[in-house]
Amino acid sequence: MNLQDWAQKLPDFAKDTRLNLGSLLSPEGAPGLSATQVWGAALSVAYALRARTLVDLVSAASLEYLTDAHRESARAASSIMAMNNVYYRGLHLVEDAELSKLPARLRMNIIARPGIEKIDFEVYSLAISAINGCGMCLKSHAHELRKAGLSLEGVQSTIRLASVLSAAAQSEWIAENGPVSMEALQSMKDS
């Protein structure tokens, strides 16, 4: 099964997700992003969502667009942002100016030397930060991308891509894990 076939099998409650996914995974559907950025961000997000089926399908669909270095950087972005998004979101939510001034004391070497074009890694990091809901990281990566020349539309496309893939993974989970039959619900109520 390929990614488009999988998307078409999403239930009717996910029709909008199905339609958005069908149009999004291309430079035309994600204005401002290159094919490498689209597919690298998609793979990074699939890892961040821990969505095995999506990882496999995006990996297969991206064969012509991503090098081994891009695939490794997608994994690296997902890993480093899992740490950074928790740390910086935590600092933001604590709202303590003194705490925010302390050095992070976290190694983040991959951000400086990602093994691919820095702008591509920043796109991956922005997409994952959208998934993980870290406002400080979103702001920082969007700023770095704009400084590197990515259009505002490219930033928006990155966030749209993350949101649609999140909805697709969630829709698959719902389809596989529910709904509970009326008989089962009645049985639970009666016990």
Known catalytic residues? Answer: 134, 137
As a whole number of angstroms, the distance between CA 83 and CA 89 comes to: 10
| Omega prior to 179 cis, within 30 of 0 | yes
